Structure 1
Amino acid sequence: MRCPFCSHEDSQVKDSRPSEDGNAIRRRRQCEGCGARFTTFERVQLRELTVVKSEGRREAFDRTKLERSIAIACRKRPIASERIERLVSDIQRQIETSGESEIAAKHVGEMVMTGLKALDSVAYIRFASVYKDFTEAKDFEDFAGAVSEAGSS
């Protein structure tokens, strides 16, 4: 494993244990070049996944990108990072077990929307504003009104 600090090729594993959700192995490593310590995570990947964008472009599924977009929607909300991690893992697992090697970006977005709706209504609206490309305040009002009505029924 390459050191993120000095780019030395070798590091030594100092500690290894399952992650919080049990879906990964957390490893503490020490660089043999500079002595710096860093953490890596090892996850099972069932198959290579490709995301098909709306314009037809294809790109490799990127778990980090998914985590980042969900974290942005949840920023400054009282949501534990473990819950966000669990949501990301659940979405990735659903995609991997679907049996398909390609998935439409729209479908991934819908999975995130479903997960955020159950997690936090503000994060749900934030994500929707980007996903559904809100262009004016009225879009927020309409969507928030629909969310509010659905929550009171």
Structure 2
Amino acid sequence: MWEGFQAVKCPHCGSTDDKVIETRTLAGGEGIRRRRQCLSCGYRFTSYERIEEKPLMVIKKSGRREPFERGKIEKGILRAVEKLPVSGKTIEELVNRIEERAALYDPIAREVPTSVLGDMVLEELKALDFVAYIRFASVYKNFRDLKAFLEEIGHIQKTNNVTR
């Protein structure tokens, strides 16, 4: 037997000796249904297999890992676009893109550093709205003084030809 593998028990007699009679893929390909027959008592039963996907984890600055929470990204974006003409649909699409990109950052380990997530949010907000970008950047980049804040505005104006 494979390490960590547990054989399927017959629900009738408890034997782990069975044969697969039929295999079908579940809708969307997210699992498999198998019809089995116990070789000890002849009872027929069904088992299901599903892929257990590893959750996307966020690596904090301290090195601690926690599950990715879409709501945290959305909350930060909502604060940045507050009182701006940005629709809920636009915000949802933006969060979807960030979540998809985060999952692709390291698809094997399924981990993404918070710094990369923050940069993804900034990139999306930069394309969406200058004011939202500056609001989010002021918190994310933790500007210590007015000079740092003005330098960021100047940098954005140069790279994007913003004249607001």
TM bin (shorter chain): 0.5 to 0.7
The whole-number CA distance in structure 1 between the counterparts of 2:65 and 2:138 is 24
Aligned positions of 1:90-109 closer than 5 A? 90-98=97-105, 99=107, 100-109=109-118
* Aligned equivalent of 1:26: none
Listed one character per residue, the Cα deviations across residues 4-53 of structure 1 (whole Å, up to 9, x for unaligned) are xxxxxxxxxxxxxxxxxxxxxxxxxxxxxxxxxxxxxxxxxx64011001
Residue 130 of structure 1, aligned match among 127, 139, 144:
139
Larger relative contact order (C-alpha < 8 A, sep ≥ 6)? 1
Name structure 2 gaps, 5 residues minimum: 1-52
Q: Contact 2:103/2:111 (CA < 8 Å) preserved in 1?
A: no
- Which of 148, 151, 164 in structure 2 is aligned with 1:142? 151
Partners of 1:117 and 1:90 in 2: CA distance = 14
- Which amino acid in structure 1 is aligned with residue 91 of structure 2? I
Residue in structure 2 matched with residue 18 of structure 1 by the alignment: none
Query: 1:65 and 2:88 equivalent?
Result: no
Question: Percent identity between the aligned chains?
Answer: 41
Root-mean-square deviation (CA, aligned residues, Å) is 1.8
Matched, 1:75 2:109: no
Corresponding residue number in structure 2 for 1:55 = 62
Give the residue type in structure 1 aligned to 2:150.
E
* Paired positions, count: 109
Q: Deviations over 1:57-101 (max 9, x none)?
A: 111100011100111011111111111110000111112234141
Runs of 4+ with >4 A deviation? none
TM-score, normalization: structure 1? 0.66
